[in-house]
Structure 1
Amino acid sequence: MEKEIFIASKNKGKISEFESFFKSKGLSVKSLLDLPEEVDVLEDGNTFEENAIKKAETIGKKIGKPVLADDSGLEVDALNGEPGIFSARYAGIEKSDDANNEKLLNELTGIERERRTARFVCSLAIYFPTGEVKTVRGTCEGMIAETLQGEHGFGYDPLFYLPDVGMSMAQLEQEEKNRRSHRANALMKLAEHWQEWTTE
C-alpha cells in the first residue's frame, strides 16, 4: 500500500477531515490543490455512489495512486429523495446555499412536521492502483425545520434539525457536528474495512 493518498477535492475543510483520519493510518494526504494541472470530472451519475466512483477512478487512473472521492447531499422523504445528487445546484447551477434553502422550504410548504424526515448522505469511494474500487455510505438522520436556525455550518445545515439534541446542524459546534455528520459516519465505516481492504 502506498504511503500517500489523494483526496479528490479542493475543499480545505473536507481535506482537513480526511487528513486526520489517514494520519492515523500512516498515510500522508495530497489533494487536487497539489496537482500541477486542473482535473475536471463530469459528475453525471444517477447516485452518490456512481459520482464518487467516477471521480476516484478518473483521477486515480490519471495519477496512478490511491484516490478517495466523496459525493454527498440531502435526501428528503416527502420529496421522493430530492434534492439528492442535485443538492448543491438544487436552485440553479450557481450553487447558492440561500437559494437552495429557500427552494427547499417552498417545496415543503404545507407538509406537516412528522412528514419532514430527511437525511444527509455521504458516499466515499477509494480507487486502488490495481483498478479495484471500494465504497462506503454514511448517513445522518434528521428533519427539515420550517425556519433557518443557527449560524454555523453551510449548505442545508440551518434547516437540518436533529430531534435528539433539539438543534439544527448549524447550531452545533464544529467538533460536535464532526462527530454526528454523514461524512463522520462514512469514515467510521471506512475505518472498519481499512485493514481488510489494504491487505488483500
Structure 2
Amino acid sequence: MPSSASPRRLAPGRLVLASHNQGKLREVAALVTPYGMEIVSVAALGLPEPAETENSFLGNARIKALAASRGTGLPALADDSGFSVAALGGDPGVRTADWAELPGGGRDYVMAMAKVAALAAPHADRTAWFTCALVLAWPDGHTEGFEGKVHGTWVHPPRGTRGFGYDPMFVPEGATETFGEMDPVAKHAISHRARAFALLAAACLPG
C-alpha cells in the first residue's frame, strides 16, 4: 500500500530501474513506457546493488529504490519479488535469489528449482505463490510502496523457456501453462508484477 495518505505522482521523464536483472528490466520497461517514462537501469549507469538486509519484499525494494535515487538524483523504481511454497513455510520467499546463488558467483535457477522440488516433494500441498513489491523513491527520501501476489501451484520438472527465475515451475490459478510456457502478454496480464504495478500506476503515474 502507499506509504502516505496522498501518494506523490511522477512527472513524465527518466526513471531509474534499481535492478541488474534483464528480465525485470524488460517487463518493467513494457509497463511504464506507455506513461511517458524513459527507463534506464542502474546496471547501465554502473551503480552497484546495495545489500538487501530486510526481511520483507517491501523493505528490500525500498533499500534498492533509495540507493538508486540518491545515487542518480532521479526518481527510481525498485522491484523485489520472490517465489514462495506453502510446504516450505513460504520459502524461498525473500531469499528467492539466494537459493540460486553459485559458490563462484552467478545464479543457477535450474538448480534452485530442483532444490525447491526436492524439499517440497514429500508434502501433499503444492500451493505456491509469487509476490512482487514495487517501491518508487525520490532523491529527497520520499517513497511509495505497493505489493501484488499471484497464487497457484508448483510443478517439476520445469516447463517452458519463457520468463525468468522460477517461472517454469509455477502454474497460476485457472491456467494449465507455467509462467515459463505462457505468452509474455498473457503472463503480464495476471502476474504479481502486473498487480503491483496496477496499484502503483493508479496512485503515482501520469494520468
User: Normalization by structure 1: what TM-score?
Assistant: 0.87
User: Does 2:81 correspond to 1:69?
Assistant: no
The equivalent residue for 1:101 is 113
**CA offset at residue 21 of structure 1?**
2.9
1:24 is matched with 34
User: What is the one-letter code of the residue matched to 2:178?
Assistant: S
C-alpha spacing 1:127/1:166, structure 2 compared with 1 (3 Å): same
C-alpha deviation, 1:153, in angstroms? 2.4
**Percent identity for Structure 1 against Structure 2:** 30
For 1:10, give the aligned amino acid. H
Richer in helix (by share): 1
C-alpha displacement at 1:163, in angstroms?
Answer: 4.1
Q: Distance in 1 between matches of 2:123 and 2:167?
A: 19
DSSP 3-state at the match of 1:154: coil
Which deviates the most, 179-188 or 10-19? Answer: 10-19
Gaps of 5+ in 1: none
- 1:124 match: 134
The one of 51, 55, 62 equivalent to 1:42 is 51
- The answer to whether the 8 Å contact 2:99/2:112 transfers is yes
Larger RCO, structures 1/2 (Cα 8 Å, 6+ apart) = 2
Q: CA separation of 1:24/1:148 partners in 2, compared to 1, >3 Å: closer, same or farther?
A: closer
What one-letter code is carried by the residue in structure 2 that aligns with 1:49?
L
| Partner residue, 1:82 | 91
Partner of 2:191: 181
> How far apart are 1:169 and its partner, in Å?
1.6
Q: Which residue number corresponds to residue 33 of structure 1?
A: 43
Residues 89 and 96 in structure 1, CA contact (< 8 A), matched pair in contact too: no
Q: Would the alpha carbon gap of residues 40 and 146 (structure 1) be closer, same or farther in structure 2, given more than 3 Å must change?
A: closer
In the TM superposition, residue 145 of structure 1 has moved relative to its aligned partner by 1.7
AA paired with 1:144? W
Matched AA of 2:31: F
Aligned-residue offset at 1:65: 1.3
| Deviation (angstroms), 1:122 | 0.7
Q: Alpha carbon RMSD of aligned pairs, Å?
A: 2.1
Which ranges in structure 2 are unaligned for 5 or more consecutive residues? 1-9
Residues matched between the structures, number: 194
Q: Is the 8 A contact 2:75 2:137 kept in 1?
A: yes
